[in-house]
Amino acid sequence: MTNLSVNVNKIATLRNARGGNVPCVEKVALDCENFGADGITVHPRPDERHIRRSDVFTLRPLVRTEFNIEGYPSEQFMELVLMVKPTQVTLVPDAPDALTSSCGWDVAANFEFLTQIIDRLQEAGIRTSIFVGTDCENIRMAAKTGTDRIELYTGPYAANYPTDPEKAIAPFVEAANVAHSVGLGVNAGHDLSLENLKYFKEKIPNLKEVSIGHALIADALYLGLEATVKAYKECVK
């Protein structure tokens, strides 16, 4: 079974553009769960331009499914997640001013740092995932950090899918197989959409979870939130 985790950052972006609490991040998250989502993802950044620290604390007791917090493991971020104790923390190598997560970790170059972070999270009972590309040696190094899972950065897949789906998916199939062989669970995210998600799910073995925000919220503008969540769930059946 592949879980669908809905990233609600874009809801917070829309709210913050106007001020006030419309749309309400908490209501949207709970609605997504009611419509079939298996988890809720947030990515609080230091400038709080979308999800705020206060949102994370408000959501934690409300979310009934898996709660996934993404972010760069600064000390401020670690303080937050160790207080909140989500189901999963996904570690991304974003700079503080990054627009979005657009690359994975060079695990070898950050091995000691990541290992120490993962130890702290696992001691708190939090499942860990490292955001990576498809380089197989990098994935093997990720396993040595002790992480529970990796999240495959699917931007290149989404970019190449329209012209050559088989070529686009090939490195991700290999990466997933390597991850499975070294005991890692496989998540995936970035630019997955109704156009390319079903094919990705069909081809990737042992896919645990996809985390989708931008495309899902954009589709909801046309289809409505309930229909959109159900359509994405259909893709990962």
Which DSSP category does 109 fall into? G
- Residues shown for the chain: 237
Domains and CATH numbers, the chain: 3-235 (3.20.20.70)
- Among 33, 66, 70, 209, the active-site one is 70
190 has catalytic annotation: yes
- Among 50, 66, 190, 209, the active-site one is 190
pTM: 0.95
Give the strand pairing for 39-42 and 66-71.
parallel
* pLDDT score, position 95: 66
43 has catalytic annotation: yes
Q: What separation, in Å, do the N-terminal and C-terminal C-alpha atoms of the chain show?
A: 7
Q: What is the pLDDT along the chain (237 residues), one digit of tens a residue?
A: 899 999 999 999 999 999 999 999 999 999 999 999 999 999 999 999 999 999 999 999 999 999 999 999 999 999 999 999 999 999 999 766 655 555 789 999 999 999 999 999 999 999 999 999 999 999 999 999 999 999 999 999 999 999 999 999 999 999 999 999 999 999 999 999 999 999 999 999 899 999 999 999 999 999 999 999 999 999 999
Name the packing angle between helices 9-18 and 214-223 (round to 10°): 70
